Structure 1
Amino acid sequence: MHRRTALSVSAALLAAAPLLAACSGEARPGTAAVVGGERITVSALQAQMRDVRAAQNRSPQAAQLISDTSGLEKYKLNSMIQSRVLDRTAQDAGITITTKDLEDARKERILQSGGVEQFEALALQKGGLAPGQIDRAIRDQLILAKLNEKFGEGKIAGPAAAAAKELGVEVNPRYGAWDPAQLTVGQATTPWIRQVTKPQEAPAAG
């Protein structure tokens, strides 16, 4: 999965995030993870993967895109968990993202990309995002930007850690172990929060 991003998450979030207590216990049938007492079902995770693979298979670069996302299952589970942690961080900080905020950000990215088709292709290539998953990624970006404005650039580790601790995270062992230091499942291969790359800032794919 490519790491190139327009709005990079501060490395301090990964390096300085304190240890968090993750829930332990036997996995619940049909559950990939539990965050804040709410299940992320295996079927929901598989649906996210199917949407991405379907979008990739429609691309002329299908083989390369699929090869580049061999760890898609864990990547998507990480994204689903981390988005919930980010939502709680924003809630605790009194931060909201309006529909207009999201619409304006999407329009800006589409304009910069040269159109909807190009924008969706870029999101698929750089972020492993199917069209229906893009708005969630943009929302995450906007939350991160507002958190950085509130706490200072690179100083959101504390609030994020507190939010994750409040929620509690339990992961089905089938998918790995929750790493409280990195806020990821198993060995993370992607940034803490997935991003939709702005085209003018993205180097050519390697």
Structure 2
Amino acid sequence: MHRRTSSRRRTALVLSATAIAALPALTACGSGAHPGAAAVVGGQRITVSQLETRVNEVRDAQQAATKDSAQYEEAVAKTGSLTRNTLHTMVLDRVLHRAATDAGVTVTRKEMQDMRAGMERQAGGAQKLETAWLAQYNVAPKRLTESLRTEIEVQKLATVLGADMQTPDGQAVFWKALGKASKDLNVDLNPRYGAWDVTPRSRLVEARTPWLKQVTQAPAETRTA
């Protein structure tokens, strides 16, 4: 059972930028018509204040996880694009949720709790899992369960779409759905944070969104994970 669950998660996470580089870019630059907004998605604002709160959550968690100021400064240096990447992740999560909703996908709290419990067992405890996701994905501990919701949405959306995420064709189907959702939501990004591009060839990949993780292990290793 453990192996099958791990395999399903890895399948959902395999999104190769190279395999679907031919997908058209869908970009939208902020119009400046939304003062105080870092982005507007589906008519709803992500305010600069909300963005700063999310970034500060990560910085506070990084500081708590480090032993001294030098180690903290090193962590900050490694995440110099945290603000921009955090905003792109916040927007992309909403785009994913819209695509999942359009496909009739729902996620229950029990599903999130079950996934978290399983991952905690694999990691060796809740604290180790939180530390790992903070280091790898810049997800603050208080946002971990929310982040897992997007993982489940990816798995379910891929299933509904019949998209095999280990193939270029399957990935293309998946990203086509996200592209449609992105257009429908009319994403408007404040120019100070860059331009919006839903394709994985953009800097979204650099945001290290958990469900965008590229799994490069050999098939044999994947099966035994």
Per the shorter chain, which TM-score range?
0.7 to 0.9
Q: Do the aligned partners of residues 9 and 28 (structure 1) sit closer, same or farther apart at CA in structure 2, a change above 3 Å counting?
A: farther
State the shift of 1:149 in Å. Answer: 1.6
Letter in 1 for 2:207: T
Q: 1:141-172 CA deviation, whole Å, 9 max, x = no partner?
A: 11111122222122301111111111111011
- Report which of the two structures shows the higher radius of gyration computed on alpha carbons: 2
**1:158 and 2:158 are equivalent in the alignment:** no
User: What's the secondary structure of 2:97's corresponding residue?
Assistant: helix
CA distance in structure 2 between the partners assigned to 1:25 and 1:196 by the alignment? 28
Give 1:17 deviation, angstroms: 3.9
Structure 2 spans left out of the alignment, 5+ residues? 1-8, 165-170, 218-225
Runs of 5+ in structure 1 lacking a partner? 202-206
Following the alignment from structure 2 to structure 1, what is the Cα–Cα distance between the partners of residues 149 and 63?
26
1:8 has 2:13 as partner: yes
- Paired residues of 1:74 and 1:175 also in contact (CA < 8 A): yes
| 1:37-65 deviations in Å (ceiling 9; x for gaps) | 00000000000010000000011353332
Higher helix share: 2
- Contact 1:95/1:146, CA 8 A, preserved across alignment: yes
Partner of 2:37: 31
Partners of 1:23 and 1:63 in 2: CA distance:
32
| SS at structure 2 position matched to 1:97 | coil
- Counterpart residue number, 2:86: 76
**Matching of residues 4-153 of structure 1 within 5 Å:** 8-11=13-16, 15-20=21-26, 22=28, 24-60=30-66, 61-151=71-161, 152-153=163-164
Q: TM-score, normalised by structure 1?
A: 0.82
User: How big is each residue's C-alpha offset from its partner over 1:102-152, in whole Å with a ceiling of 9 and x where there is no partner?
Assistant: 110011111111111111100110110111111221111111111222221
Secondary structure class of the residue paired with 2:21: helix
Distance 1:183 1:170 in 2: 19
Question: RMSD in angstroms over aligned alpha carbons?
Answer: 2.6
Residue 10 of structure 1 deviates from its aligned partner by: 1.6
Question: Matched residue of 2:181: which SS?
Answer: helix
Contact 2:28 / 2:195 at 8 angstroms: preserved in 1? no
Kindly state the Cα deviation for residue 27 of structure 1 after the two structures are TM-superposed. Answer: 4.4
Counterpart residue type for residue 71 of structure 1 = S
